[in-house]
Amino acid sequence: MGWPIERVDLGSVEYEQAARDMRGWVEQRRAGLAPDRLFFLSHPPIVTYGPRTSPEELPAAVSGLPAVEVDRGGYATYHGPGQLVGYLVIHLRERGPVDIVRWLECGLIDALADLGFPTVRRDTPKGADSLVGVWTPDHRKLASIGMRIRHGVTSHGFAINVDPDMTAFHQFAACRLHDVTMVSLAELAAEQGRPVPSDADVRDAVAAALC
């Protein structure tokens, strides 16, 4: 699937503000007032969760982590400094049939390979909780994906753990996967004895793969 997608680099944006902006981006795309776009940003610490998430899968009040329900697929995930978030606003009806989630998984895998980190996608067994995302070969989860498609236009997107506070993932059941270890590029780089790629390097690699 190759088509032009405009890259938009933002800084740290409060999640509530980004959610309001995203609704506007979707309306602009639906009305033909903007091209397909990929927005790069980060958020202050927050847990977001889809409507099917159970209360016991969310962080306890004593954790200090705010939690907010969002209008996307998937379950609870963490956003915070050191994590690269990408929101895709694409009009799929203009592009023909496409599995947008698999395309996104494969694009992120290509980007991470260019940075020197081998990763894989995983098929979800029938009846099991979703394994959508990007994984290390030993099945630690590096990137989460949660999207919404309405009237042919996508919103939300992905989050790559570059160098966030990984202890935040100990406060709740990330993606409803109780027995899965979340991992960051910083941890993988330490295992390889190499420097951590910068946020700018990760953005450039992802943009080259997707845009």
Tokens for 128?
A: 């099991």
pLDDT at 180: 85
* End-to-end Cα separation, the chain, in angstroms: 10
Tokens for 97?
A: 């049939």
Question: Which listed residue (175, 182, 188, 210) is catalytic?
Answer: 175
Q: Cβ neighbours of residue 14 under 8 Å, at least 6 residues apart?
A: 43, 44
Angstrom distance (rounded) from CA 10 to CA 100: 23
Compute the mean pLDDT over every residue in the chain, rounded to the nearest whole number.
91
Cα Dmax for the chain: 49
pLDDT at 2: 55
Of 171, 161, 144, 149, the C-alpha closest to 65 is: 171
Give 112-162 as a DSSP string.
HHHTT---B--PPPTTSPP--SEE-TTS-EEEEEEEEEETTEEEEEEEEES
For 109-137, how does the pLDDT look when each residue is reduced to its tens digit (9 = 90+)?
A: 999 999 999 999 999 888 887 889 999 99
Between 56 and 157, where is the model more confident?
157
The CATH code that applies to domain 6-210 is 3.30.930.10
Domain range list for the chain:
6-210
For 137-183, how does the pLDDT look when each residue is reduced to its tens digit (9 = 90+)?
A: 999 999 999 899 999 999 999 999 999 999 988 888 776 777 789 99
Does the active-site annotation cover 211? no
pLDDT at 179: 79
> Which residues pair with residue 37 across a beta bridge?
6, 89
Q: Are 124 and 133 in contact (CB under 8 A)?
A: no
